[in-house]
Amino acid sequence: MSIDREALAAALRRARTRVTPEEVGLPAGLRRRVPGLRREEVALAAGISVDYVVRLEQARGPHPSDQVVAALARALRLEDDERDHVFRLAGLAPPRAGTIDRHVRPAVLRMIDRFADLPVLVLSAVSDVLAWNAMSSALYGDWSAVAPERRNQMRLRFLPLPEDAGRSMAGVGEGGWEETSRRSVGHLRAASGRYPDDEGLAQLVADLEVGSEEFRRLWPETDATPWRAQTKAIEHRQLGRIELDCQTLLLPDTDQSLVVYSAAPGSPAAASLELLRVVGTQELTDAARPQQANAGRTIPG
């Protein structure tokens, strides 16, 4: 299929006017000259550059990738039919049956927006980070600053890049780093059985085998295992170690997961979450840190 730049540009502009800043967790402001979202806000919500959005809307952009179109569809809250139409205009095949669903339904996006006090992620069957709320970025680091193709927990764990330094993108569950890595590989093994023909999954496994000695060791010896509820430790660069309860809620019609982090009332972790809620993704000072046991301990990732 060939790209229809003019029609794609018009579709993106129309979709942008239908979404309010509040729907994507952004302040509306007092004076807005255009209905819906500004281009800068679309770029922020999708995690791509403003220049890229401008060029696409002016019908002079490059041929967008599947990941970019999927990110724009999520940011613009497109329903499945609208998403598929935009894929075709971009000269791409829409997601088909038997492939991993990486499109988050608008109803799910509205739901995670209601979690104002707790970090929430939406993950694909292979742990692509598809959507997040502000508290998740406050906890893990700004997800919108991570390139769409890098927003995968397997890549962040096994293929860290220099630009990941200082981020808390890979946490540690019960049993430590080794056990968490083994569970991650088991989760990927289970997904590979459900989606044997998904090209993105095959490429992910190939990249991990080439780039990670740890993954090469674990992949042939690890059976398929689903994720279960667990305690997960996040090493936040300002607050130190935060141990949170991690509940995974399945969205069976899309094979996606809603991951919610919480803490018992009155615990050090609850105090950390409260501080994160207040300051958001702003830089925290040492003086603002709550007192936590083992706060200085370093956890890989």
Instruction: State how far the Cα of 84 lies from the Cα of 70, in Å rounded to an integer.
Output: 10
- Tokens encoding 202: 């095959």
Which has more confidence, 209 or 106? 209
pLDDT in tens, 231-260: 888 888 788 888 999 999 999 888 999 999
Smallest CA-to-CA distance from 240 within 278, 282, 284 is with 284
Q: pTM for this structure?
A: 0.70
Neighbours of 33 (CB within 10 A): 5
Domain boundaries, the chain: 5-89, 106-288
Instruction: State how far the Cα of 297 lies from the Cα of 223, in Å rounded to an integer.
Output: 31
pLDDT band of residue 267 (cuts 50, 70, 90) is very high
Could you confirm whether domain 106-288 is CATH 3.40.50.300?
A: no
CATH topology of domain 5-89: 434 Repressor (Amino-terminal Domain) (1.10.260)
Residue 30: per-residue pLDDT: 52
The proportion of the chain whose per-residue pLDDT surpasses 90, expressed as a percent, equals 36
Instruction: State how far the Cα of 169 lies from the Cα of 234, in Å rounded to an integer.
Output: 8
Residue 289: per-residue pLDDT: 38
Residue 296: per-residue pLDDT: 29
pLDDT in tens, 151-195: 899 999 999 887 665 555 666 766 688 888 899 999 999 999 999
When the pLDDT of each residue in the chain is averaged and rounded to a whole number, the result is: 82
